[in-house]
Structure 1
Amino acid sequence: MEFEDRSRIGAFRFDPTDEILVGNYLVNKVLAQPLPHDAILEYDVFQADPSNLPGGEKHLDWLKFFFYNVGAAVFEDYDNRVAGNGQWKILQKHEDVELPETVQWICKKSTFIFWESKRTRSVKTNWTMEEFRVAPKSNPSQVADMAVYRIWKNSGRLQA
């Protein structure tokens, strides 16, 4: 979905809660069920710097980017994932996301910060990424290959 001109009347701002993102989008995607609408692109977020993701830098003052991964990614180091000219480093790993009792899935959320490679060192950026993965409650170790990502650029000072 492209967001060409946010000044248009009826501009669409997609900013679901964790529960809606997982329960209405990720679970339905994993089960190949119909989705509420096509607000989330399929894209390998580890192929580019966050500023080069589809959607560009046009609307970063209010927009968060959402992507499904395009396949089962295998990482040498889960906590540090190479992407573009840098890497996503883990900030918080496998936080539980509360889903309604009726949902037969559990969800784990991990949060990452993007570090850009600058010559011989890495520099922390304002980019944050949240990764959501699900598994059936009946077999929590059977985590789905599909994940959904929320990526945004924080305004102001770098995080500590």
Structure 2
Amino acid sequence: MLSRRAALRFGAVAIGATAAAAGAAGCSSADDDRAAEPDPLLTALDAARRDADAAAAAAAVTPDRAGALAVIAAERTAHADALATEIARAAGEDPTLPSATTSAAATSAAPITPPTIDALRSMLAESQRGAAALARSLDGYRAGLTGSISAAVGAQQAVLLR
């Protein structure tokens, strides 16, 4: 025969286990749905890497604008790093370790044809619009990150490529 205290303890454990199982079942289906969709920041990450590579290539063949183009390349690389860190964090990875997102970029770097200043300006304008649209569709830190990137790319066009 169970004592009253043991019966209450057993009941509390049973209720807690049932609630935990129900909660885990509910969370796993939501996590599965999110895992099936690609991270929306991947497009901004690709654009940042593309812009950084293009600016670096243009700096190599445009010595009179090399300083400004090097700044753009460095800033867009920093944007790519911040986006990759956030993507890894959201995926449950350790952002301090190399991930598939950062490894793929390092191994797939192919020589790029240097764009003209006008072509780079167009690329940056496209990236700015994409980041602004993405910021409006997100919330919290991710919205702030992409909004900040959009503003920085706008400043690059207006100040560095004037």
TM-score relative to the length of structure 1: 0.21
When you count helix as a share of all residues, which structure comes out higher?
2
Greater C-alpha Rg = 2
TM-score relative to the length of structure 2: 0.21
When you count strand as a share of all residues, which structure comes out higher?
1
